[in-house]
Amino acid sequence: MIIAVTNRLLCKDNFLERIEKICKAQPEAVILREKDLIEKNYETLAVDIKEICRKYNVNLFINSRINSAEKLDIKNIQLPFSDFIENRNNLESFNMIAVSIHSKNEAVRAEEYGASFLIAGHIFETDCKKNIPARGIKFLSEILNSVNIPVIAIGGINLSNIKKIKQTGAKGICVMSEFMTCHKPQDVVLEYKKLFVTFYHESKK
């Protein structure tokens, strides 16, 4: 499972055109992050991204903004663990719920309360988490051994270390920086797909 995480601030070219190129390669999902945007602007952008994802049959996940997802009829949500716990009884409208976790305890509780899959990180050092130590492959393996739902790795993943992730049995990876900055995003996504067999399938929404 290859998931593209957006960050338009890293993108030096046209953001929507880059998203379309990424979606042409058909990753399993796009997570629309863009935490700095006010709600109105985020929703306007989400409408455009939703149409691109629909065109290429790619799942779109809204990051954190439950009300926006419901308003726009987007059926997949990605939540930090704390937000998931707080809102776990009000997520019936969503088809898939991805929960970001940073410990074994969070992983076990997220599974118990109905998460569809987990996003575990950060695994390797990354500029997005400067001065915060990476949790490493051992952490990822511990999470995988503690739950039965799919676990997706995030943080500092690139073509040179992707095999280490695959060897743990993780069901997929999230990539932000490289997908947002690479010269040929469609080709790069396809290269990741070749290196990482897709294990986890859901109906595209």
Asked if residue 172 lies in contact with residue 150, where contact means CB atoms within 8 angstroms, the answer is yes
Read off the pLDDT band of 204 (50, 70, 90): very low
Give percent above pLDDT 70 in the chain. 93
- Does residue 105 surpass a pLDDT of 90? yes
pTM metric for this prediction: 0.92
Show the 3-state SS of the chain: CEEEECCHHHCCCCHHHHHHHHHHCCCCEEEECCCCCCHHHHHHHHHHHHHHHHHCCCEEEEECCHHHHHHCCCCEEEEEHHHHHHHHHHCCCCCEEEEEECCHHHHHHHHHCCCCEEEECCCCCCHHHCCCCCCHHHHHHHHHHHCCCCEEEECCCCCCCHHHHHHHCCCEEEECHHHHHCCCHHHHHHHHHHHCCCCCCCCCC
What mean pLDDT do residues 29-52 have? Answer: 98
What is residue 73's predicted lDDT score, i.e. its pLDDT? 98
**Over 50: is that where the pLDDT of 135 sits?**
yes
Contact 30, 16 (CB under 8 A): no
Q: What is the pLDDT of residues 23-33, one digit of tens each?
A: 999 999 999 99
**Is the alpha carbon torsion for 79, 85, 88, 89 positive or negative?**
negative
Residue 132 or 79, more confident: 79
Confidence category of residue 198, pLDDT binned at 50, 70, 90 = very low
The whole-number average pLDDT for the span 105-118 is: 98
The least confident of 78-82, 125-129, 195-199 is: 195-199
pLDDT at 199: 39
- What pLDDT score was predicted for residue 200? 38
Q: Above 50 in pLDDT, residue 8?
A: yes
Burial class (CB in 10 A: 0-12, 13-18, 19+), 112: exposed
Residue closest to 171 by CA, chosen among 29, 74, 34: 29
Q: How far apart are the C-alpha atoms of 102 and 110, rounded to whole Å?
A: 11
Which of 180, 167, 185, 68 has the alpha carbon at shortest distance from 128?
A: 180
pLDDT at 132: 74
Name residue 3's beta-bridge partners.
29, 174
pLDDT per residue as tens digits for the range 158-195: 999 998 999 999 999 999 999 999 999 999 999 999 88
From the CB of residue 85, how many other CB atoms can be counted at a distance below 10 Å? 15
Residue with tokens 């305890």: 105
52-57 mean pLDDT: 98
* Mean pLDDT computed over 27-40: 97
